Amino acid sequence: MVSSFWRDVVGVGLFALAHAAFSAAQHRSYMRLTEKENETLPIDIVLQTLLAFVLTIYGIVHISGEFKDMDASSELKNKTFDTLRNHPSFYMFNHRGRVLFCSPNREVSNIPNAEALRNPLRLRKLKHLH
């Protein structure tokens, strides 16, 4: 969750940047009016630009969330076969969970097999699948 402090920091930085840009433009037009075109930008505007830039970047880095490791294999260090083996597009549902989690007091639902309702934990006869 982004804390609003860093968002404010980015806001302040951007505002300072805009302010410095505006001041630089004003300074330019002032130079043109007074025909002193060789004077460089005053140092405070330059400093304000650079500082605002650094501040904005620092704030954005904090907003943008967790950094990932550059090493591609380090992300996988904690992965196990438990999750790798699961293929959601190929999930099958004919496992014992259908019988294990069946509550005995449930009302008649869409399951057509009446045997399962009467005594759900009794093992159904295993159908020979081949």
Q: Is 84 in the site for other proteins (CB under 8 A)?
A: yes
Q: How far apart are CA 51 and CA 10, in angstroms?
A: 12
The stretch among 37-45, 47-55, 62-70, 78-86 that binds other proteins (CB under 8 A) is: 78-86
Cα→Cα distances 89→81, 83, 84, 98, Å:
17, 14, 13, 19
DSSP at 3: -
Q: Is 94 a residue that touches other proteins (CB under 8 A)?
A: yes
Closer residue to other proteins, CB minimum distance, 43 or 70: 70
89 contacts other proteins (rule: CB under 8 A): yes
Q: Is 68 in the site for other proteins (CB under 8 A)?
A: no
User: Going by C-beta distance under 8 Å and a sequence separation of 6 or more, which residues neighbour residue 51?
Assistant: 16
Q: Rounded distance, CA 55 to CA 48, Å? A: 10
Q: Is residue 118 a contact point for other proteins (CB under 8 A)?
A: no
Residues 16-45 that bind other proteins (CB under 8 A): none
State the amino acid at position 5 in one-letter form: F
- Does residue 95 belong to the site contacting other proteins (CB under 8 A)? yes
Cβ atoms of 27 and 44 closer than 8 Å: no
Please, what sign has the CA dihedral across residues 40, 43, 47, 48? Answer: negative
Q: Which stretch binds other proteins (CB under 8 A): 9-17, 23-31, 49-57, 109-117?
A: 109-117
Which residues lie near other proteins (CB under 8 A)?
1, 72-73, 76-77, 79-95, 97-102, 106, 109-112, 129-130
